[in-house]
């Protein structure tokens, strides 16, 4: 069913009894051309673009829980392409362009809202670093504006401009950045893929791989063995665990990242704001809740929940930036498990096992990357050639020295 | 999460800094495949879901380096020892 004002009106007049499930909950068949492990945003986007852009529709997406139960439903919904390094900027800008056309492409309302992302700076040195980042973005055709203190004050008069330690001096604004309703991204891609023949198989956990003569030929699952010509992993958070079943050791640590939402408030924040003197980012959802987060807890974790010192640290950042937040009650907090890679950048590549493809290492940046990740991964799986926008995200870059270390931290994942 | 430092006693995790996996052994730089071994040592991790031996530094306490065994699924801490004592064994 195509969603439109007419389908809405027709269903409104018939008591909304005509709506069908948006996608098909399939049972696994014995064999597929491509099996994608992981029914999150990246896996579903990969399936959608495999079907739509490459005509490969004999595809299954295997999800151990329900689709969207992992990080695509746990992030803070921010999209942006304000990167510095050559390997990153074209990729994230491709993602931004795909976000801009996503709802028309999918015929699904993902509430893509380009309300702007503002990164605040608090010193002359930080202003210079942000100016450099803005210039790099503009050289790649990405929008960026350096705002002075007065321009920020006009936009966000309630911020704590005269904090004794971290006075706000200005900010780097990407007007095309913003937020997207994250669950709708999973559902929209699932619907688009399912309509083109992709099987979406839930409650189907992969328990092993069958590898013959160095080639992956099947996945063992809790719902039986499924043969595949190609097997693609999109299981960020658990990439090390799943890859280990195929005998691979990855340049990844799993870490927990917490996120928070307050009670609903009247419209307050026009866009996304980040604090430059600590790690704190905040936006307001369309329901009115303030959605915010900060650093990862900083130690290996698969627990999907964090500890109180990080909660305190995030809230201190919020209080330093906008003291009025102290009067708001916190509604919920939760954790998601991040694939923290050794240089802070992702991996979209083949693996040493023939027929096994890897999409991993998204660190904090997975949600905003969803469309381009699916686009580039589908291209790699279909053609066995990396897409130019994702060609730098190689698995062997740590051995060859072609690292993409946006923060310059080295192989210490909890600092990226 | 609280860590029982062998010298200071049980303290809040706020007092500690995390380094990571304590299982790696620095390769011998004089062997033929040293570059490959150093790549594995610096960049690859087992990253288990379960018991994990890891280094913590007690910066707000005794300045001791600790080896902590902790379950990454529950954050339960099973043992804590000084790193130099572990290394001596």
Burial bucket for residue B63 (CB in 10 Å: 0-12, 13-18, 19+): exposed
Q: Which of B18, B43, B44 sits opposite A299 (nearest CB)?
A: B18
**What's residue B6's pLDDT?**
97
Quick check: A250 and B75 CB within 8 A?
no
Cβ-contact A100, A175 below 8 angstroms: no
B70 contacts chain A (CB < 8 A): yes
Q: Are A337 and A296 in contact (CB under 8 A)?
A: no
The reply to whether B42 touches chain A by the CB within 8 Å rule is: yes
pLDDT at B21: 97
User: What are the sequence ranges of the domains in chain B?
Assistant: 2-88
Instruction: Please report which confidence band the pLDDT of residue B89 belongs to, taking 50, 70 and 90 as the band edges.
Output: confident
Tokens (6 digits) for B42: 């610096």
Q: Which residues of chain A have pLDDT under 50?
A: none
Instruction: Please give the CATH number for the structural domain made up of B2-88.
Output: 3.30.2270.10
Give per-residue pLDDT as tens, B37-84. Answer: 999 999 999 999 999 999 999 999 999 999 999 999 999 999 999 999
- Nearest Cα residue to A76 out of A188, A173, A176, A177: A177
Q: Rounded to the nearest 5°, which phi and psi values hold at A20?
A: -105, 160
State whether B45 and A250 contact (CB < 8 Å). Answer: yes
Sign of the Cα pseudo-torsion (A82, A85, A86, A88, in order): negative
Q: In the structure encoding, which two tokens stand for residue B39, read together? A: 């790549």
Q: How many CA atoms lie within 13 Å of A275's alpha carbon, on the beta-carbon side? A: 28
Which residues does chain B have within 8 Å of residue A301's beta carbon, measured at their own beta carbons?
72, 75
Cβ contacts of A299 on chain B, cutoff 8 Å: 18, 54, 70
What was the pLDDT predicted at A133? Answer: 96
What pLDDT sits at residue B28? 97
Tell whether the model's pLDDT for residue B87 goes beyond 90. no
Count the helix, strand and coil residues of chain B and give each as a percent rounded to the nearest 5: 20, 35, 40
Contacts within 8 Å (CB) and 24+ apart, B40-45: B40/A249, B42/A342, B42/A398, B42/A411, B43/A251, B43/A342, B43/A398, B43/A399, B43/A411, B44/A249, B44/A250, B44/A251, B45/A240, B45/A249, B45/A250, B45/A251, B45/A252, B45/A253, B45/B20, B45/B21
Task: Tell me whether 0.90 is exceeded by the ipTM.
Answer: yes
Nearest to A100 by CA among A44, A38, A142: A142
Establish, for the pair of chains A and B, how many residue pairs have beta carbons separated by less than 8 Å: 68
CB contact under 8 A, B20 and A413: yes
Q: How many CA atoms lie within 13 A of A383 on its CB side?
A: 13
Q: Which of A250, A253, A301 sits opposite B20 (nearest CB)?
A: A253
Residues of chain A contacting residue B44, judged by C-beta atoms under 8 Å apart = 249-251
Among chain A residues, the shortest Cα distance to B71 is held by A301
Q: How far is it, in rounded angstroms, from Cα A325 to Cα A275? A: 14
Contact B75 A398 (CB under 8 A): no
């Amino acid at each position: 069913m195509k969603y439109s004002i007419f389908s809405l009106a027709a269903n409104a007049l018939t008591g909304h009894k005509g709506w069908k499930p948006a996608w098909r909950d399939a049972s696994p068949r014995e064999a597929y051309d491509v099996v994608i492990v992981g029914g999150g945003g990246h896996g579903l986007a990969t399936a959608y673009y495999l079907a739509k852009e490459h005509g490969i529709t004999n595809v299954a997406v295997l999800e151990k829980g329900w689709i969207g139960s992992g990080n695509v439903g746990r992030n803070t919904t921010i999209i942006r392409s304000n990167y510095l390094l050559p390997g990153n900027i074209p990729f994230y800008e491709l993602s931004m362009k795909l976000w801009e056309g996503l709802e028309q492409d999918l015929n699904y309302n993902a509430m893509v809202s380009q309300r702007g992302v503002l990164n605040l700076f608090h010193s002359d040195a930080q202003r210079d670093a942000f100016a450099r980042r803005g210039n790099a973005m503009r050289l790649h055709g990405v929008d960026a504006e350096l705002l002075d203190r007065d321009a920020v004050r006009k936009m966000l008069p309630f911020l704590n401009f005269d904090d004794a330690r971290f006075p706000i001096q200005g900010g780097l604004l990407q007007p095309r950045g913003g937020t997207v309703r994250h669950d709708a991204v999973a559902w929209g891609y699932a619907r688009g893929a399912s309509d083109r023949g992709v099987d979406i198989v839930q409650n189907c956990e992969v328990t092993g791989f069958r590898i013959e003569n160095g080639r992956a030929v099947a996945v063992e699952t809790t719902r039986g063995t499924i043969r595949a010509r190609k097997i693609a992993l999109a299981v960020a958070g658990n990439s090390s665990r799943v890859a280990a079943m195929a005998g691979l050791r990855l340049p990844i640590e799993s870490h927990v990242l917490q996120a928070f939402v307050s009670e609903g408030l009247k419209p307050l924040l026009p866009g996304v704001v980040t604090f430059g003197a600590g790690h704190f980012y905040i936006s307001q959802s369309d329901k009115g809740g303030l959605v915010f987060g900060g650093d990862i807890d900083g130690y290996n974790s698969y627990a999907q929940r964090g500890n109180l010192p990080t909660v305190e640290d995030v809230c201190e950042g919020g209080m330093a930036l906008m003291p009025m937040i102290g009067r708001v009650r916190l509604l919920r907090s939760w954790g998601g498990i991040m694939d923290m890679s050794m240089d802070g950048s992702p991996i979209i590549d083949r693996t040493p096992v023939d027929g096994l493809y890897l999409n991993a290492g998204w660190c904090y940046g997975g949600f905003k990357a969803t469309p381009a990740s699916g686009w580039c991964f589908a291209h790699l799986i279909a053609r066995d050639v990396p897409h130019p926008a994702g060609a730098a995200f190689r698995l062997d870059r740590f051995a060859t020295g072609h690292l993409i270390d946006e923060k310059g931290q080295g192989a210490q994942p909890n600092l990226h | 999460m609280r860590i029982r430092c062998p010298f200071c006693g049980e303290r809040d995790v706020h007092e500690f800094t995390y380094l990571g996996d304590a299982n790696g052994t620095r390769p011998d730089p004089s062997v033929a495949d040293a570059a490959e071994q150093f790549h594995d040592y610096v960049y690859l991790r087992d990253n288990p879901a379960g018991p994990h031996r890891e280094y913590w530094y007690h910066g707000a306490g005794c300045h001791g380096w600790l080896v902590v065994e902790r379950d990454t699924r529950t954050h339960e801490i099973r043992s804590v020892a000084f790193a130099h004592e572990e290394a001596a064994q």
